[in-house]
Amino acid sequence: MKHLLELFDSTVLNMAGLRLLSAAFELTAVVLMLHFNSIQKAIIINGSLALVGPIIFIFTMSLGLMGIAGDVSFSKLAMIGLGVCLVVIGVLK
C-alpha cells in the first residue's frame, strides 16, 4: 500500500483525502436524513452540508494553489484565486 501511495503527488493525495472526507459527510447526512425521516430535520441536515461544502472547497483549492505556486506566474495565480473567490461568493449569495 505504501508503494502505491508513493506513485501520487502528496498535494494530490491531500486534495483527494479532503474530497473523501467531504463524501463521508455527504453519506452521513444521507443516513441521518433516512434515520430521522422528517422533512424539517432533513432541511437542517442539508443546511449544515451547505456550510461544510464551501469549506472543503476552499481548503482543497488552497492546497492545489499552494502546490502549483512555484510553477505558475503570480498573475495567473491571482486570477485563479479571484475565480475561487467568485465561486465562493456565488455559492454563499
Give the residue extent of every domain in the chain: 12-92
Cα 5 to Cα 22, 60, 70, distances in angstroms: 20, 19, 23
* Mean predicted lDDT score pLDDT of the chain: 89
| pLDDT tens column, 29-38 | 999 999 999 9
Return the SS3 of 38: coil
- Could you tell me the pTM of the whole model? 0.77
Q: Return d(Cα 61, Cα 55) in angstroms, integer.
A: 10
Decide: 28 and 46 in contact? Cβ < 8 Å. Answer: no
pLDDT at residue 1 greater than cutoff 70? no
| pLDDT tens column, 20-60 | 999 999 999 999 999 999 999 999 999 999 888 888 988 99
